[in-house]
Amino acid sequence: MDVNKILDAKGLACPMPIVKTKKAINELETGQILEVHATDKGAKSDLTAWAKSGGHELLKDTEENDVLKFWIKKG
How many residues belong to the site for another protein (CB under 8 A)?
16
Per-residue contact string for residues 8-47; x = within reach of another protein by CB under 8 A: ---xxxxxx-xx-xx-----------------------x-
Q: Is the dihedral of CA 43, 46, 49, 54 positive or negative?
A: negative
Active site residue 66: no
Q: How far is CA 26 from CA 19, 41, 67, 75, in A?
A: 11, 24, 23, 11
Residue of 3, 6, 13, 14 marked active site: 14
First-residue to last-residue Cα distance in the chain: 17
- Using CB under 8 A as the binding rule, whether residue 75 contacts another protein is answered as no
Give whichever of 1 and 55 is closer to another protein, judged by the CB atom.
55
